[in-house]
């Protein structure tokens, strides 16, 4: 529906319908990321959380974060972790939870306790397409269970899903073998670029299915960078995909030099970027 002439018309119509984008003189005011759509993947601060969970969560609140994406509970129960979130007026709207080997009933119960509105499977890698197909079936089944519980399940990509195995890309196996109803996509923009793909093209090939971005920057040598200090043109990506805007823009850096500085830089970047 979003390809070719029809797609161009739909995109143009969506842009013209956005409140405040067009001025009376025919020009356009820059768009921005809504504050309530900014989050951060807590894996970025994992070392700090292991040392001081309460203090680090308080520091995130001081920066301005009101949403986070979880990556474990650092030895606390779901209820204990929720109390720390609540004390800092932060919501864990999303979480990374691996489905393989997990007790799905318990995972769903924990997600409800934590207040997660989405859960994403964080990582899988297999040597053969047959193994990818088997995993895809498991992912669809898990997605069905989460959907029935009222919590959408997603898949978070890395770069290897875009590398063909015997001429077939695992990413295509995943997207064709799961339904939009049961499995959404959390696009990690760093890994899409590292996989030599155009994030805008991937987005529109899966239009209406991408609910979250991992906003992670890339150094010229391929390393991780804090937002705004790398080479990825986020303004172009956000501008091109805004007609079907994602629900969350999630700051992340897998190997930050200074995790709190990275969190602060990322938040400020998303608050200031115009596109």
pLDDT in tens, 139-192: 999 999 999 999 999 999 999 999 999 999 999 999 999 999 999 999 999 999
Cβ within 8 Å of residue 259, ≥6 positions away: 44, 45, 47, 48, 253
- Level-2 CATH architecture, domain 33-272: Alpha-Beta Barrel (3.20)
Q: According to DSSP H, which parts of 64-155 are helical?
A: 78-87, 104-114, 129-148
- pLDDT above 70: residue 116: yes
Residue 29 pLDDT? 84
* 82 close to 113: Cβ distance less than 8 angstroms: yes
Cβ within 8 Å of residue 83, ≥6 positions away: none
Within 13 Å and on the Cβ side, how many CA atoms surround 111? 27
Tell me the average pLDDT across 87-96: 98
Q: Are strands 224-225 and 217-218 parallel, antiparallel or unpaired?
A: antiparallel
Is pTM beyond 0.85 here? yes
With bands split at pLDDT 50, 70 and 90, how would you rate the model's confidence at 27? low
For residue 115, give the 3-state DSSP assignment: coil
């Amino acid at each position: 529906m979003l390809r070719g002439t029809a797609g161009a018309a739909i995109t143009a119509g969506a842009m013209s319908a956005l409140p405040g984008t067009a001025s009376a003189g025919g020009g356009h005011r820059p768009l921005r990321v809504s504050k309530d759509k900014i989050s951060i993947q807590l894996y970025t601060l994992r070392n700090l959380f292991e040392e001081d969970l309460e203090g680090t969560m308080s520091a995130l609140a001081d920066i301005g974060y009101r949403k986070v994406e979880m990556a474990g509970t650092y030895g606390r129960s779901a209820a204990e972790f929720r109390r720390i979130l609540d004390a800092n007026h932060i919501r864990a709207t999303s979480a990374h939870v691996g489905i393989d080997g997990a007790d799905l009933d318990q995972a769903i119960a924990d997600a409800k306790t934590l207040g997660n509105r989405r859960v994403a499977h964080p990582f899988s890698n297999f040597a053969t397409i047959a193994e990818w197909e088997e995993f895809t079936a498991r992912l669809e089944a898990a997605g069905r269970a989460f959907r029935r519980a009222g919590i959408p399940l997603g898949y978070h990509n890395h770069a290897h899903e875009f590398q063909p195995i015997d001429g077939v890309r695992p990413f295509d196996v995943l997207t064709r073998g799961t339904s939009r109803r049961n499995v959404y996509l959390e696009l990690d923009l760093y890994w899409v670029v590292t996989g030599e793909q155009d994030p805008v093209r991937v987005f529109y090939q899966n239009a209406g299915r991408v609910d979250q971005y991992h906003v992670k920057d890339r150094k010229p040598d391929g390393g991780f960078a804090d937002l705004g200090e790398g080479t990825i043109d986020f303004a172009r990506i956000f501008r091109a995909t805004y007609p079907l805007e994602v629900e969350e823009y999630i700051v992340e850096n897998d190997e930050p030099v200074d995790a709190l500085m990275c969190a602060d830089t990322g938040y400020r970047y998303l608050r200031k970027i115009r596109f």
